[in-house]
Amino acid sequence: MQEPDAPPLNKTQRQRLAKQQALGEKFNAVAQEAYEAFPKKLSHLVVIADHMLAFAAPKVAGQMADMSYHHFDVGYPMSRDIDNMADHLAGLPRINGLAQKDDVMAGMTVDSIALKTDGDREEAALWTLDHEIGHHILRNGHYKDKDHNNIAESAAEAYAALRHLQRYKKNMSHINYLVNNISLNPLFPDMDRDHYTAGSIIRAVEAADKMGDDFYKMPLKDTAVLAAKIADDTGLSDKKIAKIWRAYEGARNIINAKDADLSDACTEIFSVMKRHAHDADIVHAGELCLNVDPLKALADKLKPDWRTELKYTKSHAARKSSVRTVAL
Ligand SMILES: [Zn+2]
C-alpha cells in the first residue's frame, strides 16, 4: 500500500528546514575539523543536532554501515536513540548542549554531543558545539568531582571563546552578551555555579589580543592547550565559588527584593569589595557585576573613580605580591 503524500511544507517550515540543514552542514564541518586534529580523543564522536545526525567519526560511521537491520533487534535503532537524546535535551531548561563520554547508541559505545538549536543564530549554535567538543578534548574538560566542575566548564568555555574569536575575528557581540549574563550569576538565586565562567571568557579575549595575527593561524591543538591553561588560571574550586556567593548574599537580597533599589545594590557591592579587599576572587566577582548595565551606569555615577582605584591597586598589588588589594 502506498503511503499518502505528506502535505507540502509552508514557507515558514521550508525556511526553518533550510536553516537547520545549513546549520547541520556547519556542525559537520566543525566536528570534522576537530576530529582531524584529535583523531584519538574523538575516535568515537557522534554529534546530533535536534533530531538529526550531524557527524559520526569514521569508526562509528563504519560500524553503523556494517549493521544490517536485523542487528538492531538486540537494542534500539540509532534513530530511536537520537530521538531519545534530543527529547531528553529538549526537556532540560537553559541547557543547549550535552557532552557525554561512553554513551551507548544503537548498541555502540560512543562519545556523544547533543545540541538543541531552536532558533539559535549560527554564532550561538557553533559556540555550543565548540564548548561540547572542548569537554571531550581538553585535559581538564571532564567532570570528575564537584570541586572540578567549574574548571571543566571554564575549559570548555575558554575553548569555545577562542574558536569563536578565530572564526568571527573582532565581532564581540555574542561574547559581550554572554559575559554580561554570566557576570551577574552571583546576584541571582538559583543561578548555575558550575557555569560561572565569565572570567575564562574574558581571559580568552585578552589572550587572543595579546597574540595578534598569530592567534588566527594557531592550530587547533595549540588552541586547546591555551584553553586548558586559561581554565587552570580562572576556574574556581567549589569552595571559592561558595565564598563568592556568600559574600554577595546581601547584594543578592537587595536586587531580588520587591521594588529593588539598584543604587543600594551598587553601594553594597562596593562595600563587599572593600571588606574583602585582600580576596582577589571576591573583588573580581564584584568588578564583573559592576561592568554590566544598569549597574555599570549607577556605579560610575556613585563612584566615578572606582575603576582607576581598582587599576591602581591591581598594579600595586602585582608589584608587591600576588595578593590583590583594592582601595574602594
Ligand atoms: Zn559544559
DSSP secondary structure letters along 291-318: TSTTHHHHHHHH-TTHHHHHHHHHHHHH
In the reported structure, the alpha carbon of residue 257 is separated from the centroid of ligand 1 by a whole-number distance in angstroms of 31
Residue 78 has what pLDDT?
76
Residue 80 has what pLDDT?
82
In the reported structure, the alpha carbon of residue 133 is separated from the centroid of ligand 1 by a whole-number distance in angstroms of 9
In the reported structure, the alpha carbon of residue 147 is separated from the centroid of ligand 1 by a whole-number distance in angstroms of 15
Do 278 and 321 contact (CB within 8 A), yes or no?
no
Strand locations in 12-170, DSSP E?
Answer: 45-49, 52-56, 97-105, 108-115
In the reported structure, the alpha carbon of residue 327 is separated from the centroid of ligand 1 by a whole-number distance in angstroms of 36
Tell me, yes or no, whether 170 lies in a domain.
Answer: yes
In the reported structure, the alpha carbon of residue 262 is separated from the centroid of ligand 1 by a whole-number distance in angstroms of 31
Residue 184 has what pLDDT?
96
In the reported structure, the alpha carbon of residue 99 is separated from the centroid of ligand 1 by a whole-number distance in angstroms of 7
Listed residue (307, 297, 292, 261) closest to 183, CA to CA: 292
Tell me, yes or no, whether 48 lies in a domain.
Answer: yes
User: pLDDT tens track of the chain, all 328 residues?
Assistant: 555 667 788 888 888 888 888 899 999 999 999 999 999 999 999 999 988 899 999 999 888 766 655 455 555 677 888 888 899 998 888 889 999 999 888 778 899 999 998 777 899 999 999 999 999 999 999 988 888 999 999 999 999 999 999 999 878 999 999 999 999 999 998 888 999 999 999 999 999 999 999 999 999 999 999 999 999 999 999 999 999 999 999 999 999 999 989 999 999 999 999 999 888 899 999 999 999 999 999 999 999 999 888 876 665 544 443 333 344 4
In the reported structure, the alpha carbon of residue 6 is separated from the centroid of ligand 1 by a whole-number distance in angstroms of 39
Do 91 and 35 have their domain in common?
Answer: yes
Residue 325 has what pLDDT?
38
pTM of the model: 0.89
In the reported structure, the alpha carbon of residue 256 is separated from the centroid of ligand 1 by a whole-number distance in angstroms of 27
In the reported structure, the alpha carbon of residue 156 is separated from the centroid of ligand 1 by a whole-number distance in angstroms of 6
Do 285 and 199 have their domain in common?
Answer: no
Listed residue (235, 161, 168) closest to 204, CA to CA: 161
Do 108 and 161 have their domain in common?
Answer: no
Tell me, yes or no, whether 326 lies in a domain.
Answer: no
Residue 3 has what pLDDT?
55
Range of the domain at 303: 248-320
Residue 145 has what pLDDT?
82
Tell me, yes or no, whether 73 lies in a domain.
Answer: yes
C-alpha angle 114-88-47 in degrees, rounded to nearest 5: 15
In the reported structure, the alpha carbon of residue 158 is separated from the centroid of ligand 1 by a whole-number distance in angstroms of 11
In the reported structure, the alpha carbon of residue 79 is separated from the centroid of ligand 1 by a whole-number distance in angstroms of 25
Number of domains in the chain: 3
Tell me, yes or no, whether 243 lies in a domain.
Answer: no
Do 278 and 301 have their domain in common?
Answer: yes
In the reported structure, the alpha carbon of residue 120 is separated from the centroid of ligand 1 by a whole-number distance in angstroms of 17
In the reported structure, the alpha carbon of residue 40 is separated from the centroid of ligand 1 by a whole-number distance in angstroms of 21
In the reported structure, the alpha carbon of residue 254 is separated from the centroid of ligand 1 by a whole-number distance in angstroms of 30
Of 236, 263, 290, the one marking the end of a domain is 236
Residue 319 has what pLDDT?
43
Which three cell numbers, joined as nine digits, stand for 126?
557553533
In the reported structure, the alpha carbon of residue 249 is separated from the centroid of ligand 1 by a whole-number distance in angstroms of 26
Do 79 and 153 have their domain in common?
Answer: no
Of 120, 153, 171, the one marking the end of a domain is 120
Do 154 and 230 contact (CB within 8 A), yes or no?
yes
Residue 67 has what pLDDT?
63
Do 18 and 75 have their domain in common?
Answer: yes
